[in-house]
């Protein structure tokens, strides 16, 4: 019987592991150690708190500390873990006053998450320059806006966080500029689809500068200036750096645990690390890619929840495997939603597949019913096998874009071909869809394109 299970980290993976363990064994002592005071908070909700659309930050808590402790989980907030000692099966931590404490474990789950990528730029530490990863980052950002009353912001990076924050800060009344090193925005999408997003940003007054390689950030009086290597300069009252994240795996590495893809903790599908009795889950760990059949690094909240649940179950003696990710994501940008799953052409080519993509523009439901909205779908399949590989969709908020991408994700998860999409028995009523769903129309367009390419 497992007597003591220790979980390092209180976000998505950590809470999922802890709750699953208590569901399976109420007698097991589950201890969750977290560096801050905010267990089980929706970090994904921070842009909407900062925009003012979610006025109370406490609403971002999936569960309160009292509710978590009511499940029988012992919480140790504001305890920073300094070492994992596998030989003694102990975790060492210091509290807010610097006092040391040892936590013995029978099983350990590492769920330390990720940290913001910090580019090596002069001026990155200047007042008014922010990152957005944890609740404390959000509070510091909010405090700066409330006290300094900035009129403008420059966002470095045009990924998901950059796009959501461009929307949020425009909603807040700031003048927004986005700079991006690559030639398009929303860089996990193909550039032509990124162009649709760029047009939406500009329609709402956001200035966008692509091919902008930031060299440094300078301070001039009360203002900041973001300078490019080409000599361009963007003046702003504050700067948000949103250039991605990396796994927080230093504790695991120091403990002798193997490190894998992109510096993430190496795990198998049971979420076991290279050391016995130690599991890892969430943004600190590798992710099994279901379509490719190998590990990669795709830090997503949905993935962290699933991995944490598997780790918690297996720590209690279970035999569950994490089924794998497809990188399914969606993001709202003003009046648009962009969503993707699976592989794009370039990603499939790197895996030595034979991708072909087809594009359609269609309506989300029958056009004779009011408020029909257009969507652009790019669907990707393998020319040799007909296997469905992925999709990218951009359309109006309210056009059920997420429903469509989830349909594709479920189909890829189950190994379906492009042709078999047409066999799906999908719901239809004129206000919501068409007899052939837009995804099925895209599959038919792909089939025509594939036949022409043969």
The reported pLDDT for the residue numbered 224 is: 96
Percent of the chain exceeding pLDDT 70 equals 100
Does 106 share its domain with 176?
no
Q: Tell me the per-residue pLDDT of 106-160, one tens digit each, with 9 for 90 and over.
A: 999 999 999 999 999 999 999 999 999 999 999 999 999 999 999 999 999 999 9
Q: Report the alpha-carbon distance of residue 193 to residue 266 in Å, rounded.
A: 34
Return the half-sphere exposure (C-beta side, CA atoms, 13 A cut-off) of residue 413: 14
Does 259 share its domain with 219?
no
Does 343 share its domain with 426?
yes
How distant, in Å, are the alpha carbons of 27, 39, 77 from that of 65?
A: 20, 7, 10
* Listed residue (88, 112, 113, 110) closest to 279, CA to CA: 110
The reported pLDDT for the residue numbered 1 is: 62
The reported pLDDT for the residue numbered 383 is: 96
Q: Is residue 324 part of a domain?
A: no
The reported pLDDT for the residue numbered 454 is: 64
Does 276 share its domain with 342?
no
The reported pLDDT for the residue numbered 290 is: 96
How distant, in Å, are the alpha carbons of 110, 360, 376, 390, 399 from that of 405?
A: 31, 15, 12, 9, 12
Give yes or no for residue 416 having a pLDDT over 70: yes
Summary mean pLDDT of the chain: 95
* Listed residue (443, 373, 439) closest to 406, CA to CA: 439
Helix (H) or strand (E) holding 150: none
Does 219 share its domain with 253?
no
Paired tokens of 8: 């390092």
Q: List Cβ neighbours of 440 (8 Å cut-off, separation of 6 or more).
A: 421, 422, 424, 426
Q: Tell me the per-residue pLDDT of 372-408, one tens digit each, with 9 for 90 and over.
A: 999 999 999 999 999 999 999 999 998 899 999 999 9
Paired tokens of 232: 């361009």
Does 235 share its domain with 252?
no
Q: Is residue 166 part of a domain?
A: yes
Give yes or no for residue 453 having a pLDDT over 80: no
Specify the CATH number for the domain of residue 374. Answer: 3.50.50.60
Q: Is residue 275 part of a domain?
A: yes
The reported pLDDT for the residue numbered 9 is: 96
Look at residue 14 and give its three-state secondary structure.
helix
Does 187 share its domain with 284?
no
Choosing from 24, 37, 42, 44, the catalytic residue is 44
Does 100 share its domain with 153?
no
Q: Tell me the per-residue pLDDT of 145-194, one tens digit each, with 9 for 90 and over.
A: 999 999 999 999 999 999 999 999 999 999 999 999 999 999 999 999 99
Domain containing 387: what range? 335-453
Q: Is residue 135 part of a domain?
A: yes
Q: Is 284 a catalytic residue?
A: no
The reported pLDDT for the residue numbered 227 is: 96
Percent of the chain exceeding pLDDT 90 equals 96
Task: Give mean pLDDT, residues 39-66.
Answer: 93
Does 309 share its domain with 380?
no
Residue 54 binned pLDDT confidence (cut-offs 50, 70, 90)? very high
Q: Is residue 123 part of a domain?
A: no
Task: Give mean pLDDT, residues 338-357.
Answer: 97
Does 260 share its domain with 185?
no
Residue 213: phi, psi to the nearest 5? -90, 110
Q: Single out the residue in 243, 259, 280 at which a domain terminates.
A: 243
Question: SS3 helix, strand, coil % of the chain, rounded to 5?
Answer: 30, 30, 40
Q: Is residue 51 part of a domain?
A: no
Q: Tell me the per-residue pLDDT of 5-36, one tens digit each, with 9 for 90 and over.
A: 999 999 999 999 999 999 999 999 999 999 99
Q: Tell me the per-residue pLDDT of 255-293, one tens digit each, with 9 for 90 and over.
A: 999 999 999 999 999 999 999 999 999 999 999 999 999
Higher pLDDT, 453 or 393: 393
Q: Is residue 292 part of a domain?
A: yes
* Listed residue (123, 92, 78) closest to 218, CA to CA: 123
Q: Is residue 122 part of a domain?
A: no
Q: Report the alpha-carbon distance of residue 34 to residue 30 in Å, rounded.
A: 13
């Amino acid at each position: 019987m497992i007597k003591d299970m220790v979980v390092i980290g209180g976000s998505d993976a950590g809470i999922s592991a802890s709750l699953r363990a208590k569901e399976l064994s109420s007698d097991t002592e589950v201890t969750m150690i977290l560096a801050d005071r905010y267990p089980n908070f929706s970090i994904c909700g921070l842009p909407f708190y900062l925009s003012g659309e979610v006025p109370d930050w406490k609403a971002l808590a999936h569960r309160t500390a009292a509710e978590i402790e009511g499940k029988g989980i012992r919480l140790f907030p504001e305890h920073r873990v300094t070492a994992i000692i596998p030989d003694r099966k102990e975790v060492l931590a210091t509290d807010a006053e610097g006092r040391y404490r040892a936590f013995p474990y029978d099983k350990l789950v590492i769920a330390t998450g990720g940290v913001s990528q910090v580019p090596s730029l002069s001026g990155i530490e200047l007042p008014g320059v922010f990152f957005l990863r944890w609740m404390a980052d959000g509070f510091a950002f909010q405090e700066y806006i409330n006290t300094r009353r900035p009129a403008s912001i420059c966002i470095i990076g045009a990924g998901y966080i950059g796009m959501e924050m461009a929307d949020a800060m425009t909603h807040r009344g700031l003048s927004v500029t986005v700079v991006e090193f690559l030639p398009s925005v929303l860089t996990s999408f193909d550039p032509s689809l990124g162009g649709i997003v760029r047009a939406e940003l500009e329609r709402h007054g956001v200035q966008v500068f692509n091919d902008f390689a930031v060299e440094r950030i300078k301070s001039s009086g009360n203002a900041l200036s973001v300078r490019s290597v080409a000599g361009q300069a963007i003046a702003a009252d504050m700067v948000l750096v949103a250039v991605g994240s990396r796994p927080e795996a230093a504790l695991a590495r120091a403990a002798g645990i193997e490190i894998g893809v992109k510096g993430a903790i190496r795990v198998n599908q049971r979420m076991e690390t290279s050391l016995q009795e130690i599991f890892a889950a969430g943004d600190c760990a590798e992710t099994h890619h279901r379509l490719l059949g190998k590990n990669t690094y795709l830090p997503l909240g949905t993935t962290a929840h699933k991995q944490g649940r598997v780790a918690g179950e297996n720590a209690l003696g279970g035999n569950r495997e994490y089924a794998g990710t497809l990188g399914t994501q969606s993001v709202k940008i003003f009046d648009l939603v962009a969503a993707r799953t699976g592989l794009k052409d370039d990603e499939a080519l790197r895996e030595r597949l034979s991708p072909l993509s087809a594009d359609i523009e269609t309506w989300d439901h029958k056009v004779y019913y009011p408020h029909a909205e257009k969507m652009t779908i790019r669907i990707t399949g393998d020319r040799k096998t007909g296997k469905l590989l992925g999709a990218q969709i951009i359309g109006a908020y309210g056009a059920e874009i997420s429903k469509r991408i989830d349909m594709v994700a479920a189909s890829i998860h189950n190994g379906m071909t492009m042709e078999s999409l047409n066999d799906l028995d999908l719901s239809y009523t004129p206000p919501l869809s068409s007899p052939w769903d837009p995804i099925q129309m895209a599959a038919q367009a792909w089939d025509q394109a594939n036949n022409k390419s043969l």
